[in-house]
Amino acid sequence: MAIASRLRARGVLSRCESSNLRSLLWPFLNRGFSSSSIPFHLERVGFIGLGNMGFHMASNLITAGYKITVHDINYDALKKFSDKGIPTKETPCEVAESSDVIITMLPSSSNVLDVYTGQNGLLHCRSHLSPWLFIDSSTIDPQTSRILSTNISKCLLKEKKGFADNPLMLDAPVSGGVPAAEAGTLTFMVGGLEEAYLAAKPLFLSMGKQTIYCGSSGNGAAAKICNNLAMAVSMLGVSEAFVLGQHLGITASTLTKIFNSSSARCWSSDSYNPVPGVMEGVPSSRNYDGGFASKLMAKDLTLAMTSAGEIGLKCPLTSEARDIYMELCAKGYDSKDFSCVFRHFYSAYLNAKVGTTCACSDGIIPHHLDMSAWIDFGWSRLLTGKIGVGLKEMGIIVINPF
């Protein structure tokens, strides 16, 4: 069965894409498949950047049957793979020497430039590169992606591979966070040559559930910046609404039900709720550890502001969101998940005070309510420490939920 037919049968390609890919990959057809039915031009994958996201992405490629070689500057991250018998390399250049495709997942534009163009970088041997395709899934500025793509296209291949006379690059940042990376349900936003995108689609769908072609080089990076801009502003809006609602006497769980069945429904309310105790399995349920660090959100918002400035666009909400996350980072919450804005930005408003209003993760009960009201609210949970610490003082219960 032809490559395109196999991919179409698996739901990877549409009928139109299948037809295009048959002609695109005709030079590959006589070479056949590996025993795992992976196209030969995608078989050897080098993965660089084994952090919270990259670790799971690389692991899913291994599960899918790809021959993976990995690199990271963190020895402990490398050891997790070497202990499983996965080849590790000390430099990006060494990874490139044994790979058909390179995937990078790095924290910033400067890290990407260093891995690609630095000493012992991926492009160190410009005159004879082994990889025919470079995929960068980092969240960086579109201009850096475009410059890298141009530089890569000027290099030479050690061996011509199908339609690629020169190596190619795709910018393919992802959405979904660590849970989606682990589950293999990421969404890829891809910019670059469409033929390369179609050829690489099996790789993307080994790590994710959806791929979206965004157009020419840099457009994937641009789409990711826009996505994260909207995500940050949404998280701030949802957090602010929860704080207001609690101070008006509405529990967070009640507001969540309202949001998720009304026009306020969004990812920040139904999948990544920022209020501790409302949703399990999200950073707010584990002291905002793990997830997407506030420092990375601040970085992405800075990228958005820079891109907006280059075209003379005013983005007041983006500017305010960036300032808030920069403030969180300055206060020492840089490594906490970005949903911690609910607790730490609004902490002055959430601290319960004797004689005023008592706050907890389930909502707010005015101090004048009698004991029967507290029993209805969940006094037994207070005694077991499931909501917060109760203090009986002058007939008032003061709760510090944090």
Residue 351: per-residue pLDDT: 60
Length of the chain in terms of residues written:
402
Q: pLDDT (tens digit, 9 = 90+) per residue, 181-224? A: 999 999 999 999 999 999 999 999 999 999 999 999 999 999 99
CATH, domain range 223-347: 1.10.1040.10
Please indicate whether residue 314 is annotated as part of the active site. Answer: no
Q: Please pick, among 161, 224, 295, 299, the residue that the annotation labels catalytic.
A: 224
Share of residues in the chain with pLDDT > 70 (%): 76
**Rounded distance between C-alpha atoms, residue 105 and residue 116, angstroms:** 12
**Rounded distance between C-alpha atoms, residue 385 and residue 31, angstroms:** 64
Q: What is the mean pLDDT of residues 250-272?
A: 96
Q: What is the mean pLDDT of residues 361-382?
A: 38
Q: Which of 109-118, 348-357, 387-396 has the highest mean pLDDT?
A: 109-118
Q: Which of 156, 209, 200, 203 is nearest to 182 (CA)?
A: 209
The yes-or-no verdict on residue 37 having pLDDT over 80 is no
Which overall architecture, per CATH, does domain 3-216 show? Answer: 3-Layer(aba) Sandwich (3.40)
Residue 118: per-residue pLDDT: 93
Residue 290: per-residue pLDDT: 86
**Rounded distance between C-alpha atoms, residue 295 and residue 335, angstroms:** 6
For 287, residues 6+ apart whose C-beta sits below 8 A from its C-beta are 276
Residue 29: per-residue pLDDT: 35
Residue 40: per-residue pLDDT: 74
Q: What is the mean pLDDT of residues 21-43?
A: 51
The yes-or-no verdict on residue 287 having pLDDT over 60 is yes
Structural domain boundaries in the chain: 3-216, 223-347, 351-400
Asked whether the CA dihedral 217, 222, 228, 234 is positive or negative, the reply is negative
Quick check: 242 and 341 in contact, CB under 8 A?
no
Q: pLDDT (tens digit, 9 = 90+) per residue, 46-73? A: 999 999 899 999 999 999 999 999 999 9
Q: pLDDT (tens digit, 9 = 90+) per residue, 304-359? A: 999 999 999 999 999 999 999 999 999 999 999 999 999 999 866 666 432 334 34
Q: What is the mean pLDDT of residues 104-129?
A: 91
Q: Enter the tokens of residue 54.
A: 């990259």
Residue 46: per-residue pLDDT: 98
Q: How confident is the model at residue 165 (pLDDT cuts 50, 70, 90)?
A: confident
The yes-or-no verdict on residue 22 having pLDDT over 90 is no
Q: pLDDT (tens digit, 9 = 90+) per residue, 271-283? A: 999 999 999 999 9
Q: pLDDT (tens digit, 9 = 90+) per residue, 72-113? A: 999 999 999 999 999 999 999 999 999 999 999 999 999 999
Q: Where are the alpha helices (DSSP H) in 36-184?
A: 52-63, 75-82, 92-97, 109-117, 142-153, 177-183
Q: Which of 32, 87, 37, 17 is nearest to 206 (CA)?
A: 37
Q: How confident is the model at residue 8 (pLDDT cuts 50, 70, 90)?
A: low
Share of residues in the chain with pLDDT > 90 (%): 69
The yes-or-no verdict on residue 121 having pLDDT over 80 is yes
Q: How confident is the model at residue 161 (pLDDT cuts 50, 70, 90)?
A: confident
Task: Give CB contacts under 8 A, 24+ apart, made by 250-257.
Answer: 250/363, 250/364, 251/362, 251/363, 251/364, 252/277, 252/278, 252/361, 252/362, 252/363, 253/278, 253/362, 253/363, 254/363
Summary mean pLDDT of the chain:
83
Residue that is written with structure tokens 């490559």 in the block:
3
